[in-house]
Copies of this chain bind each other. A is one copy, B any other.
Amino acid sequence: MASKPSIPKGTRDFSPAEVAKRHYIIQIIKSNFEKFGFQPIETPSFENSETLMGKYGEEGDRLIFKILNSGDYLAKANATHLENKDSTKLTASISEKALRYDLTVPFARYVVQHQNDIEFPFKRYQIQPVWRADRPQKGRFREFFQCDADVVGSKSLWQEVELVQLYDTVFSTLGLEGVTIKINNRKILSGIAEVIGASDKLIDFTVALDKLDKIGEDGVKKEMIEKGISEDAILKVQPLFNFTGTISEKINQLSVLLEESQEGMKGVEELRFICDNVTELGLSTAILDLDVTLARGLNYYTGAIFEVAPPKSVAMGSIGGGGRYDDLTGIFGLKNMSGVGISFGLDRIYLVVEELNLFPETVTATSKALFINYGEKEAFYAMKAIKELRNAGIKVEMYPDNAKVAKQFQHADKRGIPFAVIVGEQELVSNTFSLKNLITGEQLSLDFEGVKQALSDS
């Protein structure tokens, strides 16, 4: 192979520093998931195609990576589709497996498959990669991690309250202060659709309303009319154009606006329960805000809808989202299993934490000290000390070769190792170690306990 090897577009190699930073974030998410009573599961990277196909719409089906059957796959290929060169139709007969597209469908499949072994309500978390044959672009990859926490088997709104707290706790622990947890409710959206008398225009309506800050009230109304929403309808929801105040005040406005809609009023009631309790219990650093333009997952969410925006100083899309879906496992034949869950967007959280310089320096810390290799006898003496230090939990290593000393020091420097330990002939005789601080240049002659102490303290 003459040219340098490469990796498929949309995928990434992670260097040691990147892995360390990613794991720092994952570890904080994971430990808080567990503190809130969620338990981990893991599912296979590929599922039977029938498990995934048809669950994400036509577009989703196209973006699912299919795995070619092993062996003589053409022997079982559908002859007609093969003759017609119909790629889409042929796929089912030459590919039985596909890479998972998200963690929600595999979770639903898991719940149905193992329903007799599961104690409900089941609080599960899952942190695994997913794959999508999307066109790669900045911040969008073909392989990326999802970090999901869901509860299945209870309609209690206390779970929504806890999920808001969970977001607050994770982002506060990461030092990401001032994230906005936006909340809405599918039933509020249905109520608005009822009021404007055009449920098919709901998305057009929310998309236009979302631009209020950018294009102003007149601009939004103009766009709505262009999209076929009547002036009369717009008049009915006039309060939404001046939708300010505390959450509690906003909810009160909605309860007037949606008075005539039974569904809408159910949404108001749910929102009030969640927001009142979150407010009274208090959040550490996050801000809870009601956003009636929030319409993500409109096709499957049935109650609360969540989305998290990063601190205002960072220009970046949402770093988390989720909601309530009343029929999570119905696609696999298990009815009446309400689920509610949230997801953390690892890649974007990484970028935000990086931009705000919030990764602790210790995250990427490498070995504490490099023992310089002065030859076989000295190396053996060093290895004896290294063994003891490692037993004490201190990360240390020895340069493997008896190379030029300058090269060895350079290695420590390039690796970001803060101390060098010199064990030459002299140290061997006196049974000591010369510990050199590579940042200050200070050098001390110490016995083993002294080295151990110094490296433990640093």
Contacts and interface: CB of A to CB of B under 8 A. Distances in A.
Contact of A13 (B97, B110, B366, B400): B110
Contact of A8 (B48, B62, B333): B48
Contact of A87 (B75, B97, B161, B333): B75
A68 interface: yes
A398 interface: yes
A133 interface: yes
Contacts of A415: 119
Interface string A348-382: 00000000000000000011000001000001100
Contacts of A7: 43-44, 47-48, 51, 109, 113
**Which of A110, A151, A390: most chain B Cβ within 10 A?**
A390
Interface string A114-142: 10010101011000010101000000000
Interface in A37-91: 37, 39-48, 50-51, 62-63, 65-68, 70-75, 77, 82, 85-88, 90-91
B16 A109 contact: no
- Interface bin, chain A: 35 or more
B169 A390 contact: yes
Contact of A2 (B165, B333, B397): B333
Contacts of A62: 70-71
A259 interface: no
Interface string A155-198: 11011011001000100000000000000000000000000000
Contact of A39 (B16, B114, B280): B16
A405 to B, nearest CB: 16
B74 A87 contact: yes
Interface of A: 1-2, 4-8, 11-16, 19-20, 23, 34-37, 39-48, 50-51, 62-63, 65-68, 70-75, 77, 82, 85-88, 90-91, 94-97, 99, 109-110, 112-114, 117, 119, 121, 123-124, 129, 131, 133, 143, 151, 154-156, 158-159, 161-162, 165, 169, 277, 280-282, 331-333, 366-367, 373, 379-380, 383-384, 387, 390, 393-398, 400-401, 411, 414-415
6 contacts: A6-B48, A37-B397, A66-B67, A72-B87, A74-B86, A119-B414
